[in-house]
Amino acid sequence: MALQSLGHAEGCDSGFGNATAKKLDTMGFTVLATVLDLNSPGALELRACCSSRLKLLQMDLTKPADISRVLEFTKVHTASTGLWGLVNNAGQNIFVADAELCPVATFRTCMEVNFFGALEMTKGLLPLLRRSSGRIVTVSSPAGDMPFPCLAAYGTSKAALALLMGNFSCELLPWGVKVSIIQPACFKTESVKDVHQWEERKQQLLATLPQELLQAYGEDYIEHLNGQFLHSLSQALPDLSPVVDAITDALLAAQPRRRYYPGHGLGLIYFIHYYLPEGLRQRFLQSFFISPYVPRALQAGQPGLTSARDIAQDQGPRPDPSPTAQ
């Protein structure tokens, strides 16, 4: 890959996208980096520390006009050099709650950003990538491979994204375009570190939850879920370089992997998911990520006590691995 070739990376305001854009720039590549806000701290940092080769583009993946503008800019800007790679990195997780507690709009928003945004960008840039026999690299999540508790909206969108990229991987083989998926463990990105953000979203969920659901599950149930989630985030890996290195390898290696799993602990999680019985898989995920808590309607003195006892007996003893992935 010549140093003059270009790469397009989404979601560079912070986290993996920001770190990858900086690394590719230091390697001499021209990077078109999209950010949600051109005046965000991450965007200002890229403008200050990177070379003039890096171009910052504002884009909101929920706005078709933004996507069209970025696609047109990319086509014009790469007319003479070609486009080598696309990195789909933008992602959004809104609420930490059971699927029943999450508004349907939450599922739609996650799909809009995590799935349809990546779909539109990939389809829009495929003519350029086919011409260069280039690369498509997509950051997904283990939550798209297995049912992590309370991440149904996020995980569903990531599952759809991973399947889509699997289809592209097969279909683009005759064109020489290689497709890779990055499935990282839980790393300490800006969204992970922003505890205030998760507290605000918890309060928003409590304020908008239908009264019947709030009565059935109880405020304590939602408080427990968020407390466990924040504890798991506190164990996140601080060094983002394994993910950045995986993205870079997927872009530049002669024979990139179809899937990368950067971060500690993922091997054990995937082994349990693929090889142990379903009951043990579910119990491990609960213990690893968010421990069980009986909803209010199933607690002692409430209708459904028998079901609560059954749940407690079915859960069995709780192992205590360190929660490092989401």
Q: What is the pTM of this model?
A: 0.87
Q: What is the pLDDT of residue 302?
A: 66
Q: What is the pLDDT of residues 260-275, one digit of tens each?
A: 999 988 998 999 999 9
Q: What is the mean pLDDT of residues 286-305?
A: 79
Q: How far apart are CA 117 and CA 140, in angstroms?
A: 13
pLDDT at 1 over 80: no
> Tokens at residue 8, please?
């397009």
Rg of the chain over Cα atoms, rounded to whole angstroms, equals 21
Q: What is the pLDDT of residues 249-263, one digit of tens each?
A: 999 999 999 999 999
2-188+238-290: which CATH number, 3.40.50.150, 3.40.50.200, 1.10.760.10, 3.40.50.720? Answer: 3.40.50.720
Q: What is the pLDDT of residues 47-88, one digit of tens each?
A: 999 999 999 999 999 999 999 999 999 999 998 889 999 999
Q: What is the pLDDT of residues 190-249, one digit of tens each?
A: 888 888 999 999 999 999 999 999 999 999 999 999 999 999 888 889 999 999 999 999
Spell out the domain ranges in the chain: 2-188+238-290
**Can you give 263-297 as a three-state secondary structure string?**
CCCHHHHHHHHHHCCHHHHHHHHHHHCCCCCCCHH
Q: What is the pLDDT of residue 213?
A: 96
The average confidence (pLDDT) of the chain is 88
Give the contacts of 218 (CB within 8 A, at least 6 positions apart).
295, 296, 297, 299
Residues 222, 174: contact at Cβ < 8 Å? no
Q: What is the pLDDT of residue 270?
A: 93
Which residues are known catalytic residues? 154
Give the contacts of 117 (CB within 8 A, at least 6 positions apart).
10, 61, 62, 67, 88, 90
Place 4 in a pLDDT band, splitting at 50, 70 and 90: very low
Residues 229, 290: contact at Cβ < 8 Å? yes
